[in-house]
Structure 1
Amino acid sequence: MSDYLSIPCTAFAGTRRIASGALVDVALAIKAAAAREPVLTFDDATGAVIDFDLRGTTAEIVTRLTRQGEREASAARPRIRPEGDAPARPRGRPRLGVVAREVTLLPRHWEWLGMQAGGASQALRRLVDEARRSDNGQTQVKMARERAYRFLSGLAGDLPGFEEAARALFAGDGDAFAARMAAWPPDVRDHALRLACADPAMGKG
């Protein structure tokens, strides 16, 4: 199964959760459910809505999803090249593949990078690695809050206390976040808490 077909996601018919799991399984479950309410499917990693074309047979649906995954993978695939344009390395030594992207810096930044051992590219990689080590999970916390907010915006924007819940989410106030959602449909509330659970302030979900 391709990475795209395996994307973890969750589908809701109205405010009722009807399927959760790999993307292809959720798509087929939606087809089989034939729910009367509007159905929205959310990417569990990002909280974004995923659109499906569920016309036709099971085989046709799977084929369309497979092709969609191939298109997205092709569009997202970065240009890979060997490290710099360095001379050929000795036989048997592995070549490091790097992603070529544009970086815009001020002249003083380039000057400093050029003075570092190994040149600008190696210095930038070291800086990124050091930043990742010292991050202390803050990036994961930010991602968890943003994916929970995307989900809530897509499904719970009209529920009472939505704005207060969103403020509590971004403030890292887990108790207030749960309290603002206490009267909401259980499936919506529980999924929002699960998406936010990478944030220690929100509890373990």
Structure 2
Amino acid sequence: MHPPPEAPCTAFDGDRLLASGPCAEVALAVKRAHEAGSAGPLLAFDDHTGHPVEFDLRGSEAEVRARLQPAPPAPRRPGRPRLGVIAREVTLLPRHWDWLGSQPGGASAALRRLVEHASRDGGGAQRARESAEAVDRFMLAMAGNLPGYEEASRAFWRGERARLDELTRRWPPDVRRHLRHLATLAWDAADTARSGRAPAP
């Protein structure tokens, strides 16, 4: 599954930064490099997740861009709109069902409120975890064979900023800069989650 066309992505031609920005623009940069006979490998990453992104480069640039656009919504049918509610089995102890049944709106409404509350309160921790995992995936893909990789990975997870800078000093400059950028985002997200502050817009 591709990220949306406006999602931030970064592409590399070997260990050289090729493009960074909205996925749709990065895809076109990858296509141009491919057609120019780049030695590669051409690798692109979703900056939010660190997952590699594969673009379908067939056809014209307009066709490449069009394939990245989300499918249009299905036309609305006449009648009452669907609410998007999905029925699934939930297994709870009898005392849990008793408590849910006594809540305003019944069990389903109470469960929805609990899930919404938990997702809001845990959002910062989840963002911090996802940012850290993005660093881990990018580092493994682009620096897994570089000297000091394992110790650099440990330094990142321990939050040792100066140590990470030291261990990556001899890495290819573009790889090092992008890694430090992602690591800073992850550390900042972790600091925000620990402090309970709202994330910066």
Normalised by the size of structure 2, how large is the TM-score? 0.73
Pick one of 37, 40, 52 that aligns with 2:55: 52
Who is 2:93 aligned against? 107
5+ residue gaps, structure 2: 75-80, 192-201
- Whether the 8 Å contact between 1:144 and 1:198 is mirrored in structure 2 is yes
* Distance (Å, rounded) in 2 between the aligned partners of 1:188 and 1:46: 17
- Structure 2 CA distance for partners of 1:135 and 1:177, relative to 1, 3 Å: farther
| 2:106 aligned with 1:119 | yes
* 1:9-24 matched pairs, under 5 angstroms: 9-24=9-24
5+ residue gaps, structure 1: 75-79, 83-97
Q: CA deviation at 1:16?
A: 0.9
- Whether the 8 Å contact between 1:175 and 1:202 is mirrored in structure 2 is no
* Distance (Å, rounded) in 1 between the aligned partners of 2:146 and 2:111: 46
Q: CA deviation at 1:132?
A: 4.3
Quote the sequence identity (%).
Answer: 45
* Distance (Å, rounded) in 2 between the aligned partners of 1:198 and 1:126: 29
* Distance (Å, rounded) in 1 between the aligned partners of 2:113 and 2:4: 31
Q: Which SS does the other structure have where 1:17 is aligned?
A: strand
* Distance (Å, rounded) in 2 between the aligned partners of 1:8 and 1:43: 6
Who is 1:94 aligned against? none
- Structure 2 CA distance for partners of 1:142 and 1:8, relative to 1, 3 Å: same
Who is 1:140 aligned against? 127
| 2:52 aligned with 1:65 | no
Who is 2:46 aligned against? 43
* Distance (Å, rounded) in 1 between the aligned partners of 2:15 and 2:5: 24
Q: CA deviation at 1:44?
A: 1.2
Q: CA deviation at 1:136?
A: 7.8
- Whether the 8 Å contact between 2:125 and 2:190 is mirrored in structure 1 is no
